[in-house]
């Protein structure tokens, strides 16, 4: 039976290592495909590697078809299934759970609108983070840190955290340190020409005001008419 591979579903599942793939292939060659391929509308949800190996060696494999109302439900099942059966690092668990964030947010808002949740206790955002933490089996703080890592950290740091090569805390600290370094290195913007002109106008006005103030104080006796005239000419030149 020819099954369909949807890249959207396929890419939700963290890839296994070459060593794990070789062990799986060796097992299937010796004992056949013991575990059923999970499908939805003839599209693989779980068992992409098993199906690939069976196709390559012309080995029969059994399937079990799931029933979902839409693609969102199918995605939800894939991620929950991965979180339940694979020993994934915390950062990768949270990353997978975060893929469900839009669907969880939508459900949380629907519950609040329907009056099934108490708006005074927790916001929809708080309920969403709580659900993600529960799915991933981590704390709220870990979810917050992984969100920051996924949004702002370098690809190198993200990959290391997902693989478990560095902890979530270490990856988060690296992101914070790099962010601070980047801010220090960012050069201050040079003032625009218009800013310089406006500043010069302000100074000229101040000088003109001061000259007039002194002249009025002296009842316009010994008025520095030439100085005032020059200031007016400068101001006129700046305004043209």
pLDDT value at 164 more than 70:
yes
pLDDT value at 214 more than 90:
no
Q: For helices 18-31 and 48-57, what crossing angle results, to 10°?
A: 50
pLDDT band at 101 (very low <50, low <70, confident <90, very high): confident
Residues 177-186: tens digit of each pLDDT: 776 666 666 6
Q: Where are the domains of the chain?
A: 1-70, 87-186, 193-239
pLDDT of residue 236: 56
Largest CA distance in the chain: 113
Among 23-37, 61-75, 99-113, 134-148, the minimum mean pLDDT is found in 99-113
Does domain 1-70 fall under CATH 2.40.128? My reply is no
Q: What is the rounded average pLDDT for all residues in the chain?
A: 81
pLDDT value at 85 more than 70:
yes
38 within 8 A of 46, measured Cβ to Cβ: yes
- pLDDT above 70 coverage of the chain, percent: 69
- Terminal CA-to-CA distance of the chain, rounded, Å? 81
pLDDT of residue 45: 96
pTM recorded for the entire structure: 0.62
């Amino acid at each position: 039976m020819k099954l369909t591979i949807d890249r959207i579903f396929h890419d939700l599942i963290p890839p296994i290592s070459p060593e794990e793939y070789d062990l799986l292939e060796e097992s299937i060659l010796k004992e056949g495909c013991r575990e059923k391929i999970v499908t939805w509308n003839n599209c693989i949800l779980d068992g992409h590697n098993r199906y690939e190996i069976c196709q390559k060696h012309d080995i029969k494999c059994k399937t079990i078809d799931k029933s979902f109302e839409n693609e969102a439900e199918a995605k939800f099942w894939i991620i929950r299934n991965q979180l339940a059966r694979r020993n994934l690092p915390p950062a990768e668990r949270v990353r997978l759970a975060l893929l469900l964030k839009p669907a969880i947010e939508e459900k949380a808002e629907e519950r609040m609108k329907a009056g099934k949740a108490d708006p005074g206790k927790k916001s929809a955002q708080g309920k969403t983070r709580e659900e993600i933490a529960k799915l991933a089996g981590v704390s709220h703080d870990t979810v917050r840190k992984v969100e920051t890592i996924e949004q702002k950290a370098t690809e190198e740091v993200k990959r290391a955290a997902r693989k478990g090569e560095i902890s979530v805390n270490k990856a988060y600290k690296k992101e914070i340190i790099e962010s601070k370094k980047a801010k220090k290195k960012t050069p201050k913007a040079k003032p625009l020409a218009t800013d310089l002109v406006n500043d010069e106008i302000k100074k000229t006005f101040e000088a003109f005001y001061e000259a007039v103030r002194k002249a009025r104080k002296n009842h316009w006796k010994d008025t520095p008419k030439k100085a005032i005239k020059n200031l007016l000419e400068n101001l006129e030149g700046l305004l043209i």
